[in-house]
Every structure is written in structure tokens, then in C-alpha cells.
Amino acid sequence: MTQLAEKLVWIAADWGSSHLRLWMMTGNGDVLHRLSADCNLDDLAPDQFEPTLIDLVAGFLPQGRVIPVIACGMAGSKQGWAEAPCAATPSEPPSAESAIRVDTKDQRLDVYILPGMKQNSPADLMRGQETQIAGFLAANPKFDGVLCLSGPHTRWAHISAGEVVSFRTFMTGELLALLANQSLLRHTTVSSAWDADAFATAVEDAMSNPAILASKLFSIHAEASLFDQSNAIGRAKLSGLLIGAELAAARPYWLGQEVVIIGENDLLTAYQTALEPLGMPVKTASAETMTLAGLSAAYIALGRDKQ
């Protein structure tokens, strides 16, 4: 048995629509090892989830002990591994007591999937980020304010008294990726450089006239062609226009609120840079840390339930 298998107590999983992330955990919440794999949910039948997971973790499993797996994300959707029905707002983010237990053929694993959240009006859904919210609330149980959960689909969630009061999803990140990689703009927005002034101006521009978005996007192409605008400026403008339009629409969420942005890397920084000039106190937290905190809270609660 490897040293890792000896120490492994449980596995944390964030199983999204295109990506699976796994963390091999000790009993006191330390990460022994991280794994990540592309995984298109459209291509997986329900009975293919278990072998997909086993393939990735088999080398780490100890003999003679059952390892709990606590998962969140799209694996719990109707088209996923097993449906974990969503909690409706207003509600606490789902935790252990509403997790569903999945029958597995392989007896070395004991799999639980956490539900997502839904909202009837305006119609909305999340599967995965509610666990980041649970993780954030585990450390900040009295938080009253707004969480901006940045990602391919960024969600703004109003939190009060430990509950998600309401939330709203924006496809901004997915639009950004489609436009940067697959549209006319792929020629003029690919860059590892970044122009901070162009970003700030584009955010302002889109916030003051968000309707004009589809036209301002074409302007990035026209400005590159007519005025030799650099790709660093093009990339910053594309991000700035999309995030600015989102901020205009999400104003009821952030205006006058304490905002914590949860995310990673460039996208987190972009939201932070866009929000700070608006004069609210803005804090940030790592999406990975919050996901792990949420899954850990569920793992601990499950253990308590069993005793």
C-alpha cells in the first residue's frame, strides 16, 4: 500500500459539466493529492460515472477500508450520475442531510452527492457553487451580504441569516471564451499581455450603455483593423465589455453591499478590478478553498450522523 493510500480518509469531488476535480483528503482536512480530468457529461451514461471515477482513484485506494466520496456539481443533475434534487431559494445551501447516497458496484467507495440550488422566479439553477457558499458560511456564519461566484457562469448570491435569499446567473465567462476562441475576435484578442487602462475604460463604457454590447464587440475588430490596436488592448476590452455589462445588470446585487468575490486567477482579478472603483468594500476568496471547505463540512456532518 502506498503512503498516500495509508493516509487517505476520504475523497472530495467537484464534478462539473466538462471537468472533474478530485482531492485525496486526510481525516483532518489536509489535501494529500489533487487530480483533475476533462470529462464531458454529455458523453457519460449514468453507469459510466463509477468506472470513470475508479479509473482515476484506483491507484490511491487502501485495502480493507471503505473510502467516502463527497461530490458536488453536475454529477447530481438529472443527466448526471444520480439526481440530487435541488433546494429552492430561500434556503441554506444544501449539506450532508440532503446528500444522496449512490449505489456503487465497487465496495471500496461510499459515494454521496450534494444537491444544487434552484430558484423559481427568475428561473435559475446552480450545481457546484452552492458548495462554495456552504464553505464560505462555515467560516463566516454571520455573513450578511453578497457573494460573487465567478466562473464560466458567474453567480451573484444574496446571503442573509445563513440562507441564500436569491441568486442570479450570468453566462459572461462562457461568452468570453466563445468570443475569444471561436468568433471573428479570435484574431484580435489572443494575448498573454493585458492593458489595465483599456479594461477599466471598457467596464465603464459597458456599464453606462450595456445595450450596445454586440456592437462594441465588433468595434474591437474594427479598431484592430483601422488603428492597429494591439491584442493586449483587444483582450482587455473584450473582458471589460462583458464584465461591465454584467455589473450593470447585477447592480441590485452589489449596490451598497459587502461583496466577497469567490474565484481563481485572472477572472477573479478581473471582477475585483472592475468592482473596486465602484466604491464598495470588496474581499476575495479562493474557489478551490471554498469548495473544499464546503465538502469538508458535509464530510464531517456525515460522520456525525453515522455515530
> Residues interacting with a second copy, by CB under 8 A?
17, 77-78, 118-120, 122-125, 153, 168-172, 174-175, 178-179, 182-184, 209-215, 217-219, 221-223, 225-227, 242, 245-246, 248-250
Task: Find the shortest distance in angstroms from Cβ 28 to a second copy.
Answer: 37
Task: Find the shortest distance in angstroms from Cβ 287 to a second copy.
Answer: 18
The residue behind cell 461583496 is: 259
Residue with Cβ nearer a second copy (87 or 292)? 87
**What CA–CA distance (Å, rounded) separates 100 from 47?**
16
User: What H or E segment, with its residue span, contains residue 68?
Assistant: strand 67-72
Bond from prior residue into 122 cis (ω within 30 degrees of 0): yes
User: What H or E segment, with its residue span, contains residue 210?
Assistant: none
Closest residue by Cα to residue 110 from 30, 20, 3, 10: 10
Residue with Cβ nearer a second copy (45 or 123)? 123
Beta strand 117-119 with 154-160: parallel, antiparallel or unpaired?
unpaired
Task: Find the shortest distance in angstroms from Cβ 168 to a second copy.
Answer: 5
Cell of 265: 486567477
Task: Find the shortest distance in angstroms from Cβ 187 to a second copy.
Answer: 8
**What CA–CA distance (Å, rounded) separates 104 from 107?**
7
**What CA–CA distance (Å, rounded) separates 119 from 252?**
17
Residue with Cβ nearer a second copy (239 or 296)? 239
Residue with Cβ nearer a second copy (104 or 183)? 183
Beta strand 67-72 with 10-15: parallel, antiparallel or unpaired?
parallel
Taken in order 76, 80, 83, 87, the sign of the CA dihedral is positive
Residue with Cβ nearer a second copy (170 or 199)? 170
Residue with Cβ nearer a second copy (45 or 226)? 226
**What CA–CA distance (Å, rounded) separates 70 from 25?**
11
Task: Find the shortest distance in angstroms from Cβ 298 to a second copy.
Answer: 23
The residue behind cell 456592437 is: 215
**What CA–CA distance (Å, rounded) separates 271 from 243?**
7
Residue with Cβ nearer a second copy (44 or 302)? 44
Q: 297, 111 in Cβ contact below 8 A? A: no
Task: Find the shortest distance in angstroms from Cβ 297 to a second copy.
Answer: 26
Task: Find the shortest distance in angstroms from Cβ 86 to a second copy.
Answer: 9
